[in-house]
A and B are shown apart, each in its own frame.
Chain A
Amino acid sequence: MKKTLFYIFATLLVLVWLMPFVITMFTSVKSMDELMMGRRWWEPPKELRFENYATAWQDANMGRYFMNTFIITVPSVLGALFLSSLGAFALAWYDFRLSKTILMIFVGGMLIPFQMLLIPVYRMSISFGIYDSYIGVILFHIAFQLGFCTFFLRNFMKTIPASIFDAAMIDGAGHFLIYRRIVLPLVVPAMAALGILEFTWIWNDYLWSLILIQSDRFKPVTLGLVNLQGQWITSWNVMAAGSIIAAVVPLVVFLLFQRYFIEGLTVGSVKG
């Protein structure tokens, strides 16, 4: 009996949670006329217009935007993970005077209202000649995410017992070797977890691509979606279809890596 009640409760909760998604799905297969006439968002569509998905893919150029988003997101995530692991390693294992200060600097970066950086970063990318290019956005994402990633990984590395490190040092291992062969494998779960979060954030980034990319051929999916908001008209149905297509990738990434995700954050929290 208790179990049934529980099931009902949990199911209700999930249904309520999914409601916005359901609405989006409905909207994505409605015709524009249906939307402009009897706009009740929660009603199922009168006729199914799956061609909205085709329109989103072709006319709205989703295919190319998808490619672009991959080209931007994957190197950014890998770069951020790699560089932050280097910094985290230094901050977690080495006792030097400025280490706490530098940690604070990285943490401070987590707090910056990013709009504040818009114009200076824009100008910098022009002076460096990397405006309107993949590399311009990638470098920025890597740098900007270093704050949170370094902090996160450093905390995690701190939970590895010092004895492992000391033993390796005694064995005469070089520092980089210790980083590569000993510490990194231990933090792979955390890095996978972090990777998922970073992937989702960068995949869904809108503002920075807006500022740093001008040409249509480099645009990521988020910009493509917004372009469906016309000067006067918004094609809600195509936009809904496009949004669902765009959401598929972060969802797949989550599904693929979720066990690391749960594991990764766990080991850190058990150690406290």
Chain B
Amino acid sequence: MKRVLLVILFVSVALVGLGIQQLVVNSYMSDPEPKRVFEELVQQFESMYPDFEVTVNTFAHEDFKVLLRTWLTSSNPPDVVTWFAGERMRYFASKDLLEPIDDIFENGFEADFPKAFVSASSYEDRIYFLPQSWYWWGVYYRKSVFEELGITVPLTWKQFLDVCETLKANDMIPITIGTKYLWTAAGVFDYLNMRVNGMDYALKLTNGEIPYTDDGMKAVFEYWKQLVENGYFIEDATSYTWQEAATYLFTGEAGMYLMGQFIKDVAPPDVKDDLDFFRFPIIDGNLGLYEDTPIDGFMMPANAKNKEAGKTFLKFIASKEAQEYFATELGRLAANKHVPAPDDHAKKGLEMILSSDGVMQFYDRDTDPEMANAGMNGFVEFMTFPSRLDTILKNLEAERNRIYK
């Protein structure tokens, strides 16, 4: 073993001696497809910049979230890490753990990236986050199933409830959902909140400015109650991961799933093309149309050792070519606004977003982590025991007061 260490030492010294710039990137893209595509991007980078050597370390998603914190505070962190935009990023920026990366944008951030992404990528007017891809959420369904049952895509809440009834009458599960890991329930909450109260309200809530016992909140749950008490959700939702719940959509046992675009990644080939989505139904016709568009990308720890090399890499990732490659291979939407949507499905998603009045990140990506955890647990508890709503809201309010004091 000592010999192995010596060899590694020798090679590293040699590399440094030869002027090879080393770069360490830690990523949570552990799914086979994104992992492959990212590796290809790295290879492209290395062939463009031959004196750079990039090491990519991949981690399971949940582990990554825990480890990131330890890396950011260590004296020897990776040079670049994958992460999410929004509060999750700002939390670290506010503690001086991130390196501002404004200088990688020659013509400024907005030359290549949408204005709507600015606030999600910055903290106190400096950019800390490089967006790479983003996706939309919608109510996914199988076209063939709807056709067979003669269902038309609902636009309003009332129409949506009717669709649920039809599905139920035909022995199908109207809405499938897997709440084992909580965030799927946050998705339902986000959409109901945006439809009932609008985006400003939603943003204030994630900022901790609105009491959980507020009337606006109660209104959200009134609508949610209609779905829960009519038995429109799948039974035992808390036993399933989102992926396990998705299989019921694929087998045709369930009719709809409020989910992000990545659901297509898991669909079996013969189902993939049958999948389509519609915008979450409108509740208040006077409010604007708002959507959740979580953004994924990269950021740089403040303690990184190879900042120049890291920034060169980030610049590459920001480029139209790199963004287009990633998006096209995976069917996602590139953050770089010069990149066209890769396929029809993505086009539809893009259009839906472009015709919206505003976008948010996601309840748990935008709220204080501890509050988000309490909130999501509350949502899941509500879905199981809707009669407990008042107690749940009261407890959440107590948490909010404690956390945001």
The answer to whether A and B touch directly, with their CB atoms under 8 angstroms apart, is yes
> In the docked arrangement, what's the CA distance between A210 and B68, Å?
12
In the bound complex, how far is the Cα of B56 from the Cα of A118, in angstroms? Answer: 24
Closest 9 CB pairs of A and B: A230-B31, A231-B61, A33-B268, A226-B60, A230-B30, A232-B262, A227-B30, A229-B60, A233-B266
Tally inter-chain residue pairs, CB-CB below 8 A. 84
B28 interface hit (Cβ, 8 Å): yes
Given contacts A37-B250, A134-B1, are A233 and B243 in contact (CB under 8 A)?
yes
Contact of B58 among A39, A119, A227 (CB under 8 A): A227
Contact A126 B76 (CB under 8 A): yes
Which residues of chain A are near B57, meaning CB under 8 Å? 214-216
> With A119-B70, A126-B75 known to touch, is A233 a contact of B265 (CB < 8 Å)?
yes
Chain B's closest residue to A238 (CB) is B32
The answer to whether A210 and B268 have CB atoms under 8 Å apart is no
Does any Cβ of B come within 8 Å of A175's Cβ? no
CB B166 to nearest CB in A, in angstroms, measures 24
| Residues of B contacting A32 in the complex (Cβ-Cβ under 8 angstroms) | 268
The smallest beta-carbon distance between B369 and chain A, in angstroms, is: 17
Contact A227 B59 (CB under 8 A): yes
In contact, A214 and B63 (Cβ under 8 angstroms): no
Verify if B251 is at the interface (C-beta below 8 Å from A).
yes
What residues on A are CB-neighbors of B31 within 8 Å? Answer: 230-233
B216 at the interface (CB under 8 A from A): no
User: Is B154's CB within 8 Å of the partner chain A?
Assistant: no
Q: Are A232 and B60 in contact (CB under 8 A)?
A: no
B-contact 0/1 string along A63-90, CB 8 Å cutoff: 0000000010001000000000000000
Contact A232 B243 (CB under 8 A): yes
Distance to closest chain B CB from A53 (angstroms): 16
Any A CB within 8 A of the CB of B29 = yes
- Listed residue (B60, B67, B74, B75) with the most chain A CB atoms within 10 angstroms of its CB: B60
A234 touches B243 (CB 8 A): yes
Note all chain B residues with C-beta closer than 8 A to A211.
67, 70
**A263 on the B face (CB < 8 A):** no
A37-B268 contact, Cβ under 8 Å, with A119-B70, A123-B74, A214-B57: yes
Contact B70 A235 (CB under 8 A): no
Chain A hits for B5, CB < 8 A: 133-135
Bound together, the chains give a CA A133 to CA B76 distance in angstroms of 13
Supply 20 A–B pairs (Cβ within 8 Å), ascending by A: A33-B268, A36-B246, A71-B1, A119-B70, A122-B70, A131-B74, A214-B57, A214-B78, A216-B57, A216-B58, A227-B30, A227-B58, A227-B59, A229-B60, A230-B32, A231-B29, A231-B34, A232-B31, A233-B243, A233-B266
Indicate if the CB atoms of A229 and B30 lie closer than 8 Å: yes
Verify if B43 is at the interface (C-beta below 8 Å from A).
no
Q: Which residues of B contact A172 (CB under 8 A)?
A: none
Assess the A210–B67 pair: CB atoms within 8 A. yes
**Extra 16 A-B pairs, beta carbons < 8 Å, given A216-B58, A230-B60, A232-B242:** A33-B269, A36-B246, A36-B267, A37-B250, A75-B1, A126-B76, A131-B74, A211-B67, A214-B78, A215-B55, A216-B55, A227-B30, A229-B30, A230-B31, A230-B34, A231-B34
Q: A211-B67, A232-B265 are in contact. Are A36 and B247 (CB under 8 A)?
A: yes
- B residues less than 8 Å from A126 (CB atoms): 74-76
Contact residues of A between 119 and 150, Cβ < 8 Å to B: 119, 122-123, 126, 131, 133-135
Q: How far is the CA of A234 from the CA of B243 in the complex (A)?
A: 8
Residue of A nearest to B270 (CB): A33
Assess whether B26 is interfacial by the CB under 8 Å rule: yes
**Residues in A neighbouring B76, C-beta threshold 8 A:** 126, 131
Q: Give B38-69 interface residues, CB cut-off 8 Å to A.
A: 55-63, 67
Q: How far is the CA of A252 from the CA of B146 in the complex (A)?
A: 54
Cβ of A38 under 8 Å from chain B: yes
B61's closest neighbor in chain A, by CB? A231
For the complex formed, measure the closest distance between the CB of A262 and the CB atoms of chain B, giving whole angstroms. Answer: 33
